């Protein structure tokens, strides 16, 4: 009997209108999304009851709450990444007639967008369906290297079940789907490059979590609860002057932007209009090049301003559900 292999695993995804009801199998209505790692998995509590019976044996086994959650790491495909961003932020503001510009923004009153995922292990003909998945966050790291850029999305959902067959035998692919390489990234402060930056990270949390408090007669979640945005990250730079040090010491906020560009019409830019740096110093760890790392955090946006925007330029007309 063959072994299941990661390279033979397929991730199928489709937007899900209502909590608790997975989308049914349908050819041509799911997207097949590329991924590096997928560890959105079910878990279940299992414990021994504490009742006393006059002996040294453990108590009866009790199966408790059932949960579903984890992360998926995907390539920053400049067409497919929009599917994930639409699940996190909602529909973008799209302009153009090809190429297109999609602007995603963190809303003041965000709606929770759900999805059904199908995981198909093609080599061993085993299939699983996960329902009511919501994005709980995003993580991305900009640094110079020769690898394709990756993004991690965190998710929480309701339940996973075995499926008799794949949810979609002819899923839709985003093709072509160019992926920038690490050295095609840039970090800008107030619209200008800062000398010496070697790495910048961003973590956005939506605060969404599974409701495992409301009584619903089931071990699975009753719904998804909204939360509040939290945005932070890190910047690491070679010490070439006091630019970052002064910003941290003065407490002066600034606009931070992370970009990845393949061409004039193929680009992703994450813009945080106002971030502050935690104060730190410039440690000398030895005889090599001196670097310093700063944690940053975004605060409440000014009236009429956005907490964060993601501008995606590509040749995908929209990110509406397949029908």
d(CA 42, CA 46) in angstroms, rounded, equals 13
Q: What is the mean pLDDT of residues 298-311?
A: 95
Per-residue pLDDT reduced to its tens digit, 156-205: 999 999 999 999 999 999 999 999 999 999 999 999 988 899 999 999 99
Domain membership of residue 1 (yes or no) is: no
Q: What is the mean pLDDT of residues 92-111?
A: 96
Domain membership of residue 322 (yes or no) is: no
Q: Residue 15 pLDDT more than 90?
A: yes
Domain membership of residue 128 (yes or no) is: yes
In this prediction, residue 285 carries a pLDDT of: 92
Share of the chain above pLDDT 70, in %: 100
Domain membership of residue 127 (yes or no) is: yes
Token couple for 79: 């067409």
Split at pLDDT 50, 70, 90, the class of 41 is very high
Q: Residue 65 pLDDT more than 90?
A: yes
Alpha carbons within 13 A on the beta-carbon side of 62: 10
Domain membership of residue 323 (yes or no) is: no
Q: What is the mean pLDDT of residues 40-54?
A: 97
Number of domains the chain is built from: 1
In this prediction, residue 195 carries a pLDDT of: 80
Domain membership of residue 267 (yes or no) is: yes
Domain membership of residue 162 (yes or no) is: yes
Its domain, for residue 124, covers 6-314
Exposure string over 165-177, b if 16+ CB within 10 A, otherwise e: ebbbeebeebeeb
Domain membership of residue 173 (yes or no) is: yes
In this prediction, residue 194 carries a pLDDT of: 85
Split at pLDDT 50, 70, 90, the class of 147 is very high
Per-residue pLDDT reduced to its tens digit, 229-265: 999 999 999 999 898 999 999 999 999 999 999 999 9
Q: Please answer whether residues 167 and 26 qualify as being in contact, where contact means their C-beta atoms are separated by less than 8 angstroms.
A: yes
């Amino acid at each position: 009997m063959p072994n299941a292999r990661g390279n033979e695993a397929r991730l199928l995804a489709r937007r899900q209108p209502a909590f608790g009801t997975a989308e049914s199998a349908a050819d041509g209505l799911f997207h097949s999304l590329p991924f590096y790692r997928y560890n959105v998995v079910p878990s279940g509590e299992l414990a021994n009851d504490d009742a006393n019976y006059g002996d040294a044996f453990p108590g009866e086994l009790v199966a408790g709450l059932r949960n579903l959650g984890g992360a998926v790491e995907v390539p920053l495909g400049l067409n497919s990444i929009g599917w994930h961003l639409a699940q996190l932020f909602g529909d973008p503001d799209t302009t153009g007639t090809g190429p297109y510009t999609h602007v995603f923004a963190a809303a003041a009153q965000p709606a929770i967008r759900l999805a059904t995922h199908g995981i198909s292990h093609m080599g061993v003909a085993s299939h699983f369906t996960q329902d009511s998945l919501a994005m709980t966050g995003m993580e991305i790291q900009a640094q110079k290297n020769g690898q394709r850029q990756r993004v991690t999305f965190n998710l929480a959902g309701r339940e996973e079940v075995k499926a008799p067959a794949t949810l979609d035998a002819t899923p839709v692919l985003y093709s072509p789907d160019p992926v920038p390489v690490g050295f095609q990234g840039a970090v800008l402060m107030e619209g200008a490059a800062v000398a010496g930056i070697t790495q910048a990270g961003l973590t956005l949390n939506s605060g969404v979590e599974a409701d495992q408090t409301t009584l619903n007669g089931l071990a699975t979640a009753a719904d998804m609860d909204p939360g509040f945005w939290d945005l932070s990250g890190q910047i690491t730079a070679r010490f070439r002057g006091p630019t970052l040090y002064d910003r941290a010491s003065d407490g002066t906020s600034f606009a931070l932007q992370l970009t990845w560009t393949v061409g004039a019409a193929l680009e992703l830019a994450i813009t945080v209009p106002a971030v502050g740096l935690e104060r730190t110093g410039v440690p000398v760890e030895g005889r090599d090049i001196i670097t310093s790392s700063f944690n940053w955090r975004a605060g409440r946006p000014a009236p009429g301003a956005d907490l964060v925007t993601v501008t995606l330029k590509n040749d995908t007309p929209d990110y509406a559900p397949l029908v």
